[in-house]
Amino acid sequence: MPRPAVIHPLHSDIPKPERFTYPFCYEPHPLCILAAEETKREIARIQPTEGKMFGVMVVEQDGTLGFLAAYSGLLEGRNDWEYFVPPVYDAQQPDGYFKTREREISAITRHSAPDGQHPSPDTRPLSQALQLWLFRQYRILNARGETKDLVEIWHDYHTSPKIRNKYPLPPGGTGDCCAPKLLQYAYLHRLKPVCMAEFWWGPSPRSAVRHHGEYYPACRGKCLPVLTWMLQGLDVDPNPEEAGLPHLRVETVYEDEAIAAVNKPSGMLSTPGRIEKYSVATWASERWAGAVPVHRLDMMTSGIILVAKTQEAYRHLQRQFEEHTIKKKYLALVEGSPEREHGIIDIPLSSDPVNHPRQMVDYEHGKRAITEYRVLHSGERSLLALWPHTGRTHQLRMHCAHPDGLGCPIVGDELYGHKSDRLYLQAQSITFIHPVTGRRMHIETGEMMSP
């Protein structure tokens, strides 16, 4: 069978991986890095004007390796660039049903009340019906040769009635990301998928944090249901997040009859997760019967966590958190140096619906998030003191990394910066009122970070 033009040769003595890439948590295989470097040269030739996710997949045909390349959505308004695989379904044909019907719905809205005296008709049912029709056209294959459309895949994955009622259809653009395009093309042309990787090219979107040339996992909101289906029948790497975590040592910094303060190491959960159960909470309950953490830290953040040994102490400390009278200080080692030595970051945040657990800057619907910072040491890596005035998810990490904040990602932040041996963010101290004595307490860890 002649090779389609979009299969690009890959000449290398690098051994193949034993299994295909688990796309939601991976280290790019050296073969994918070679393919990505070739693809980057083609992207540079096109000179796209916007940032975009690109993907490569190493494939095998008749014992020979090659690779495929793809981009998410449209590239410069087109979906027909010859170097890249085609879309799963082409909805961009000007005379096709989708574009024709889309123009009709727009015309109804635009011309129904030209004098502005009467409200336009509600065209949402028409738009939803058109979206449903479009998703039915995406006939998605898996490695067994079975086919389902996007609506079937979405409903089979999300079996909870609560989710089905809230999200009856997939998000717009589902099926147009890199990974589904690459797998669909490979299956259609009987190519064996070997490994894949995705990377960002160009400027970061305003709401999120993406670094030019960095590798990223597939998005979860759109791609997790689709790829769960498409990877069936393929030998895939295990999910590293389900491999379990080492049972790390927890240091007790302070203890009395009512409370304790412990130093959580980086890489340990604060409370039991969906798969991994060992955590500060389980450790504390085994050490002190009935003890529970009063607050949490991200798994990769180290530092002080307060533990209540009694319900009375727990309620008292919880009330202090609710009233924002508890003060926490963090230390962070960041890439680069902030422009100002001291300041306030006030940037609203919301969860990224398609990239959980990532957060995004959202000036329209986000919750206010405020962080005070001071530069303790400035250089290629700078040491900062951070005081969060609010407690949003990933607040400190986003405020450090995002260009509207400091534009200096925390060292080791895999979500918003670059990978290292650990996340260099530490809850160094906490100040609060003791729930029994009423005395003002200040507790800090002796562990320090150096730039």
Per annotation, catalytic residue among 298, 362, 404, 421: 298
What's the helix, strand, coil split of the chain in %, to 5? 25, 25, 50
Q: Report which of 22, 15, 7, 3 is spatially closest to residue 234, judged by C-alpha positions.
A: 22
Strand intervals (E) in 242-357: 251-255, 259-264, 292-293, 302-308, 327-335, 342-346, 349-351
The 10 Å Cβ neighbour count of residue 206 is: 12
Q: Do residues 32 and 56 lie in contact, with contact meaning Cβ atoms separated by under 8 Å?
A: yes
Q: Do residues 192 and 60 lie in contact, with contact meaning Cβ atoms separated by under 8 Å?
A: yes
Cα 140 to chain center, whole Å? Answer: 24
Cα 389 to chain center, whole Å? Answer: 24
The 10 Å Cβ neighbour count of residue 323 is: 8
State the sign of the Cα–Cα–Cα–Cα dihedral 66, 72, 74, 75: negative
Q: Do residues 46 and 76 lie in contact, with contact meaning Cβ atoms separated by under 8 Å?
A: yes
Q: Do residues 231 and 244 lie in contact, with contact meaning Cβ atoms separated by under 8 Å?
A: no
The 10 Å Cβ neighbour count of residue 204 is: 16
Does residue 149 carry a catalytic annotation?
Answer: no
The amino acid at residue 76 is: E
Kindly list the catalytic residues.
Answer: 298
